[in-house]
Amino acid sequence: MYDRTIRRRRLALAALLACPLLLLTVYFGESSGGTLHNVQRGVFSVLAPIQEGASTVLKPARDLFGWFGDTIDATSRLSELENSNQNLRSRAIAGSEALRVNAQLQALLNLDNAGGLAAAKPVTARVIGQSPTVWYATVTINQGSDRGIKAGNPVINGDGLIGQVSTVTANASIVSLISGGDLAVPARISAGGANGVAQTGAGGPDDLRLKFIARRFRVEPGATVVTAGTLSSQSGLESLYPPGIPIGVVTRVVDPGTDAQKIYLRTYADPQRLEMVQVLTVPINGNRR
């Protein structure tokens, strides 16, 4: 009984497989006007209007789903583009920052090499704060006594002298700027050798002057002013500043050749644009010339 049931199922399966093959053979073997071709055309003529109507009815739904799909894809793509733009912008900013800092560090290295300041054991620091006044009297740097910095140490950047350390903590220091009015720096005219003192006058940070230049010395605008270093041979009179560090340039001279002559300077270092600096922690041969 079981075997007969299995045989019937197998015969039915074989018949089902044979019928499509037989129909395909007859279909491809007859002419275009044959019975099966006519049946195909009849079925197509009946179903085509139904298919067209269904397509028309379902088109708004398809368009709606397509719009949602396109909107989601566009939103995803926009998000990807925004993330990509943010990454590119971050890279560009980081690259610009690195280039600027590298340029400042290179300028410091050049000044160290040209002025023989490596022996002063310079400590490189970053400016992390600035006095909020028009005088720009002080800046705060991120290095302190833990790196050997002491009050009175000269501070430079790649353009030249900016001031000296006035207050020190373990990991930070306050630097008094030469443009702030509290410092008097022994200075000299680089070309002629006339010695004086660079100090800010009462007019503010733009009133830096070279004082006490004897009237016999003719000083012209454009002359370079540098630190004078130690002039006296007596012990205890050593200068805080090594000789030859650039300070600024003479901008104008009032009443030249007289005892009342006023020599105005502009510092090479811009007090409003200080970022990377160096603190000279050790005097070089008493900072003598």
Say if CB 170 and CB 145 are below 8 A apart. Answer: yes
Average pLDDT on 261-275 reads 88
Looking at residue 107, its pLDDT comes to 75
The whole-angstrom separation of Cα 263 and Cα 198 is 10
Q: Mean of the pLDDT values across residues 98-104?
A: 74
| Confidence at residue 136, expressed as pLDDT on a 0 to 100 scale | 61
Q: What's the Cα-to-Cα distance from 10 to each of 3, 21, 24, rounded to whole Å?
A: 11, 17, 22
Q: What is the pTM of this model?
A: 0.66
Q: How much is the average pLDDT of 235-259?
A: 85
pLDDT at 179: 82
- Beta-carbon contacts of 31 under 8 Å, excluding residues fewer than 6 positions away, are 37
Q: What is the pLDDT of residue 93?
A: 62
CATH number of 117-287: 2.40.10.340
Task: Say if residues 108 and 237 touch (Cβ distance below 8 Å).
Answer: no
Cβ proximity of 163 and 176 under 8 Å: yes
**For 2-41, what is each residue's pLDDT tens digit?**
566 777 777 766 666 666 565 556 555 566 666 655 655 5
**Amino acid (one-letter) located at 138:** T
Report the residue count for the chain. 289
Helices (H), 116-243: none
**Does residue 280 contact residue 117 with C-beta atoms inside 8 Å?**
yes
What is the bridge-based pairing of β-strands 276-279 and 185-189? unpaired
Contact 145, 168 (CB under 8 A): yes
Cβ atoms of residues 183 and 199 within 8 Å: yes
Give the burial string for 249-261 (b: 16+ CB within 10 Å, else e): bbeebeebeeeeb
- The predicted structure's pLDDT at residue 232: 64
Q: What pLDDT does residue 167 have?
A: 92
pLDDT, mean over the chain: 77
pLDDT digits (tens, 9 = 90+) for 156-209: 998 999 999 999 999 999 999 998 777 889 999 988 788 889 988 766 666 788
CA distance 112 to 100: 19
